[in-house]
Amino acid sequence: MPKLILASQSRGRAYLLDQAGYAFTQAAPAFADPPQPEVEDHVSIQRHAMELAVRKAESMRDILGDHEIGPAIIVSADTMCVGVDGRIVSQPSDVEDARRMIQSFTNATHDVVTGVAMLRLDPSDTIH
């Protein structure tokens, strides 16, 4: 049975896996979210969230490197909030900025987009 590795520091994501009955190891990926993500015009926000999730999974694979961990599945995710104007709501720069962001959600519609990536590691696989 492959090991399950959650490439995230999120307590919420760990809670979900735990409540679903999975045994897993939680570790921080080397890839850090950009605090002010910018999405190119031709890339959808959904695609951008997926790309960030993949980068996190790949960075965890790189951290594990030559460690003999056996078969494993790395799971990572990236969540973005999209404001009423269609732009990504960035991470707040300070408490006042956080307050302003939260107030902007009052009586307004916004979307939350999560990209999820799973990366299979199997030491018996060889690449030629």
- Residues annotated catalytic, as ranges: 78
What token pair was written down for 49? Answer: 């969230």
CB 69 within 8 A of CB 76: no
The Cα 103–Cα 60 span in angstroms is 35
The Cα 55–Cα 47 span in angstroms is 12
Q: How do 88-89 and 72-82 pair as beta strands?
A: antiparallel
CB 45 within 8 A of CB 113: yes
Which position has the token pair 């045994």? 23
Residue 5's DSSP bridge partners are 25, 74
